[in-house]
Amino acid sequence: MSNIKPSKKEKEKRSRFSEAVAYARAIIKDSQQKAVYGAKLKAGETVCHKAIREYLQSH
């Protein structure tokens, strides 16, 4: 796929997802915030996935 140029929408979605990953990494580094997210987890969820999902839904 190196010869295929992404569309404007694809670039926007990739950028938004990159922001979500950066947000999740910041949550994981902060032990207090990580504990808050850990308390909200359901079975099979991780703090990282929960933070990414929450960021994408709110932005």
Could you read off the pLDDT of 20-57 as tens digits, one per residue?
Answer: 999 999 999 999 999 999 998 989 999 999 999 999 99
Kindly report the number of other CB atoms within 10 A of residue 37's CB atom. Answer: 19
This prediction has a pTM of 0.86
Q: So what's the pLDDT on residue 26?
A: 97
Top-confidence residue, 59 or 1: 59
**String of DSSP letters for 17-45:** HHHHHHHHHHHHHSHHHHHHHHHHPPTT-
